[in-house]
Amino acid sequence: MEIIKRLIARDSPRTEAEIQADIRSLLLSTPLQLHDGDLENVLLEAQVGDRRRIDVEVGSALIEVKRDLRRGGVKEEARQQLGGYVEARAEAFGRRFVGILSDGAEWVCYDLREGELHEVTTITVKSVDQADALIVWLEGVLATARDITPSPREIAARLGARSSSHDLDRATIASLYAANRDNPSIRMKRGLWSRLLTSTLGTQFEDTDDLFVEHTLLVNSAEIIAHSLLGIDPESIDPAALLAGNVFEESGIYGVVEQDFFDWVVEVEDGPRFVRALARRLARFDWASVDQDVLKVLYESVIGTDTRKRLGEYYTPDWLAELVVDAVAPDALEMRLLDPACGSGTFLFHAVRRFVVASEAAGRTLAETLRAVSRHVQGMDLHPVAVTLARVTYLLAIGRDRLTANGRGALFIPVYLGDSVQWDDQASNLWNAESLVVPVEDQAELFTSELRFPDILLNDAEMFDDLVEAMADMAARRDSGSRVPSLNPLFQRLGVPEQAQDVVRATFRTMCDLQDAGRNHIWSYYVRNLARPVWLARAANRVTALVGNPPWLAFRHMPERMQQTFREMSEQRGLWAGAEVATHQDLSALFVARAVELYLAPSGQFGFVMPNAVVDREHYAGFRTGHYASRTSSISIAFRPSWDLRRIRPHFFPRGSSVVFGHRAEVEPIEMPLDATIFSGRIPRGQTSISQVEPHLERRPGTVTIATGANSPYQSRFRQGAIFSPRVCFFVERRAAGPLGAVAGRTPIISSRSVNEKKPWKELPSIEGVVEDAFLRPMYSGESLLPYRVADPLLALVPAVDGRLLRTEEQIALYPGLADWWRRAEGLWNDNRKSEGLTLIEQLDWVGKMAAQFPTPRLRVIYNSSGMHVAAAKLRDPRGVLNNKLYWCAARSEEEADYLCALLNSPVTTEFVRPLMSYGKDERDIHKHVWKLPIPEFDPANRTLARLAELGALAEQLAGQVEVDPDLHFATSRRRIRERLVENPDAAEIDDLVYELLS
């Protein structure tokens, strides 16, 4: 593109006027939906007052052009000048404007905050090949395109965390929060948000400003998308009404957009302006054309991979959700289906679609269909962001044409914010034997007051919702500090039982007090949603089908109180496998048992996506029995054959997965059968619907094998290296001989020191001596280990000869050089060790770690004891010794060594062992935790293991070709080898085979 060539040629002679003209031509000639001659869209030298002119004005963006932004001081001077233009335009038009600095090659976008421009996103174009990236960046900033198809790719590119539009919106909302975080209403909403997510995600949840801001942006976006879905122009609606869902309520669509934790934006200065700008960006998409759960794509595009991984937030692929719904509820019109952990609503989407299509095919009217769908397909989740996304997904499944048709009737979206497990622990649960109790905050401390509603009110869910909403409205309309209105007319209209009225009056007084403090309207939303699980658990309201992907929250990441309750509830139901395997346990099995117990009618069917360990690991044996008894109930499940999904590529979860099926048995349980359907196939990226995926899937009957123990047989074969500490006594380096030279067979040495030594050893003088060569050995440490190869070893003094340690003073005295060194080393040890105890030789040979290395095996496999990645290599050095930073095993064959190296170096192994490590700042302590994985001993007759050995040998050759700079830190060398290996197709095959073994 000639324009791009001219714009990026910053070293060529050109004027600012020429750059301005080329920028205008670029804007008009690229697919930004601008048209030449449309001076309302692209203006040159636009007047801004006081004889000032804007170089280029396009929509709500002002572009200041300079010849070369690399020149010193130019960018800062231009930024200040541009700030005045942006502020003037924002004041004149009452909407948000952005500023852009450009010299044609470098483009910097700024956002105006408190009278100052702040950089939020930038791109530098160095070649014509980057033209498309520049166009996407400009479109994100300008938000000019229309009718964009909301495909996963377009959503990620134009709204995702790497897009310029996201950078702008996130920077704005972050500044709004930072300026208003101490507002009482915002503090309250932030506290409730944190409370719910701690219950949902455990200790993996980090209560950070960044995550609260990201969640606010997501929910605001979803609520705007809901309006666009119905053909409502969100830019035309008052922002407060937009986030309150007033248009939906007026249209008879309830439960989609409500006042919630995230509408604080419209309560603060400049917040409404931000909402209008966000609405403009989102209105670019044709949301009516959606045919899948796209909001999970939006979520995954905005929330970073690392954050979602830490929180365990992985959404089910659409094709799998559709298959599960079909399998559990084949008769769409007869099912009453609940997803008790609905996430963004993927299962709900396909259940709603099936029901609506079936209902219309059966001849029902649109009003009948929509009135029925809310009774037949329901969802629940404890994640407030997920609930909002799922509600909009529910609308997307119904479709714009049906929602905007005449005569559709009222519609209730039955997706609730609720605790599906209903934890027994009163601190976790909001329910007791008599009342729903919701803690609230006061000025000084969170959650010190409470709202209480008698249990009897939950018999009629619609009446309860109307009561709470009416109480919130009455409190909001009342003048601050005025008399508390009487509730008697409301009690009479709704038929509130007399025995509940005094408690409700007390709660209403609390709501009025909250209103006086500016913190009332959230409670209607909060209370109505949290009460719904109790209503759904009433026998008359139980469903005939349960589907979903329950939370896989690991026991080790649950808050302490949740761990206690989880263990108690699991022990009662026979699900607790023992403290020794507690790190392997997660919430999924208890969640399913509890969901069946609370919400599934007798003979009702279920299908849940679960960790693959559920079907074949020992710690899920109690779950597979199908019988769960507690102090208050006893239920039985009749299991059907499960689906084994481990062999599908690429993997859509970090752990192997399965789908378990069954029904609530009225008499005897049926244990989970060993029969299973084995899924395999490689699904092309971007393929999401069942029609796209089906040609790539293979399904065959098979069986699962129950693993009777998680520990690998290699656990007993690997040993840790010796403790060469203190360093001053054992680590040595050669030094120059004296003027008369050295005796043959002896070498002058001195202690090799390190900045990492600890007190008191780092402050002690080095030892010098001339020692017999037999006692100087290559010593391999963590820094000597690279993937599939070893680097140069260090040098160590080891009092061993002829394959045995010299343990006594008499044995050591036979060697004068060694004896002199050892005497001084022992003196340092005895004078500076913390307490009486081990001798120096006992320290070196603690639990036989040194003696076990003699005689030296011909071939060893070594791996690191700690680090962010497991690394392994073969070692053939017959004199080499290992320190405690390495583990080693004598290999029985070259093939076994290649197999172990392939398996240990695979990043899949690191991912699987990381949850088993002790947790500090990072999971770094590998040690023998890796052998808690089900790693089988090498068997050349096993085709999978033999193939891994072949691939390991090939990987060793490739790693050997990577140039390693000895002056670089070993971690850098490890990374370079890993990067080179990833480029080879054999690495993908290794990872696939390892995943299949370990999952």
Q: What angle (nearest 5°) sits at the alpha carbon of residue 671, between those of residues 670 and 675?
A: 110
In this prediction, residue 562 has a pLDDT band, given cuts at 50, 70 and 90, of confident
Helices (H), 377-521: 384-398, 400-403, 461-477, 488-494, 498-516
Q: What is the pLDDT of residues 848-873, one digit of tens each?
A: 999 999 999 999 999 999 888 999 99
- Could you give the dihedral angle defined by the CA atoms of residues 977, 982, 984 and 986, in that order, rounded to the nearest 10 degrees? 110
The confidence score (pLDDT) of residue 715 equals: 92
Closest CA to 647 of 401, 156, 994: 994
The Cα 394–Cα 414 span in angstroms is: 9
The Cα 375–Cα 664 span in angstroms is: 21
Residue type, 946: A
The beta strand positions in 255-401, using DSSP E, are 337-339, 377-381
The confidence score (pLDDT) of residue 431 equals: 43
The Cα 922–Cα 867 span in angstroms is: 9
CATH number listed for the domain at residues 2-145: 3.90.1570.30
Closest CA to 775 of 743, 716, 732, 809: 732
The confidence score (pLDDT) of residue 184 equals: 84
C-alpha 821 chain-centroid distance? 55
Yes or no: say if 312 and 204 are a contact pair by the CB < 8 Å rule. yes
Residue type, 68: D
Residue type, 235: E
Q: What is the pLDDT of residues 476-492, one digit of tens each?
A: 788 877 889 999 999 99
Yes or no: say if 308 and 300 are a contact pair by the CB < 8 Å rule. yes
Q: How far is CA 148 from CA 138, 180, 401, 423, 581, in A?
A: 15, 35, 19, 44, 50
Average pLDDT over residues 103-127: 89
Instruction: Indicate if the alpha-carbon torsion angle 303, 308, 311, 317 is positive or negative.
Output: positive
Six token digits for residue 649? 């590529």
Residue type, 517: A
Q: Which residue has tokens 């629940």?
A: 380
Six token digits for residue 628? 């769960």
The confidence score (pLDDT) of residue 583 equals: 65
Buried b (16+ CB within 10 A) or exposed e, 828-865: bbeeebeeeeeebbebbbeeebbeebeebbeebbbbbb
Closest CA to 680 of 716, 651, 655, 723: 651
Q: What are phi and psi of 269, to 5 degrees?
A: -60, 135
Three-state DSSP class for residue 956: helix
Q: How far is CA 767 from CA 24, 741, 780, 828, in A?
A: 74, 19, 21, 10
Yes or no: say if 247 and 229 are a contact pair by the CB < 8 Å rule. no
Task: Note if the bond before 330 is cis, omega within 30 degrees.
Answer: no
Q: How far is CA 434 from CA 440, 452, 527, 782, in A?
A: 19, 10, 16, 61
Q: What are phi and psi of 42, to 5 degrees?
A: -130, 115
Provide the β-strand partners of residue 377: 337
Q: What is the pLDDT of residues 212-238, one digit of tens each?
A: 998 899 899 989 988 888 888 888 899
Domain with CATH 3.90.1570.30 in the chain: 2-145
Q: What is the pLDDT of residues 327-377, one digit of tens each?
A: 999 999 999 999 999 988 999 999 999 999 999 999 999 999 999 999 999
Q: How far is CA 370 from CA 26, 353, 375, 377, 414, in A?
A: 48, 11, 9, 11, 12
In this prediction, residue 447 has a pLDDT band, given cuts at 50, 70 and 90, of very low
The highest-confidence range among 287-291, 461-465, 545-549, 741-745, by mean pLDDT, is: 545-549
pLDDT beyond 80 at 165: yes
Average pLDDT over residues 804-814: 92
The confidence score (pLDDT) of residue 166 equals: 85
Q: How far is CA 772 from CA 574, 723, 749, 766, 768, in A?
A: 64, 22, 10, 19, 13
In this prediction, residue 39 has a pLDDT band, given cuts at 50, 70 and 90, of very low
Instruction: Report the interhelical angle of 985-998 vs 943-960 (nearest 10°).
Output: 140
Yes or no: say if 251 and 190 are a contact pair by the CB < 8 Å rule. no
- HEC string of 663-726 equals EEECCCCECCCCEEEEEEEECCCCCCCHHHHHHHCEEEEEECCCECCCCCHHHCCCEECECCCC
The Cα 575–Cα 589 span in angstroms is: 8
Q: How far is CA 940 from CA 710, 799, 862, 896, 949, in A?
A: 22, 39, 21, 8, 9
Residue type, 828: L
In this prediction, residue 325 has a pLDDT band, given cuts at 50, 70 and 90, of very high
The Cα 610–Cα 630 span in angstroms is: 23
DSSP assignment of 854-886? -SPPSSEEEEESBSSS--EEEE--TT-EEBTTE
pLDDT beyond 60 at 427: no
Of the given ranges (431-435, 879-883, 908-912, 954-958), which has the lowest mean pLDDT?
Answer: 431-435
The confidence score (pLDDT) of residue 249 equals: 84
Q: Which residue has tokens 């500076």?
A: 832
Six token digits for residue 287? 């949301």
Residue type, 672: M
The Cα 753–Cα 751 span in angstroms is: 6
Q: Residue 820: which H helix or E strand, with range?
A: helix 816-832
Three-state DSSP class for residue 754: coil
Within 13 Å, how many C-alpha atoms sit on residue 149's CB side? 6
Top-confidence residue, 529 or 913: 913
In this prediction, residue 446 has a pLDDT band, given cuts at 50, 70 and 90, of very low
The confidence score (pLDDT) of residue 951 equals: 96
Residue type, 539: A
The proportion of the chain whose per-residue pLDDT surpasses 90, expressed as a percent, equals: 43
The Cα 229–Cα 290 span in angstroms is: 9
pTM of structure: 0.69
The Cα 774–Cα 21 span in angstroms is: 80
Backbone Cα Rg of the chain: 34
Contacts of 973 (CB under 8 A, 6+ apart): 786, 791, 964, 965
The confidence score (pLDDT) of residue 480 equals: 78
Average pLDDT over residues 705-709: 65
The confidence score (pLDDT) of residue 477 equals: 82
In this prediction, residue 312 has a pLDDT band, given cuts at 50, 70 and 90, of low
Three-state DSSP class for residue 487: coil
Provide the β-strand partners of residue 680: 647, 698
Residue 364 per-residue DSSP state: -
Q: What are phi and psi of 584, to 5 degrees?
A: -85, -15
The confidence score (pLDDT) of residue 443 equals: 40
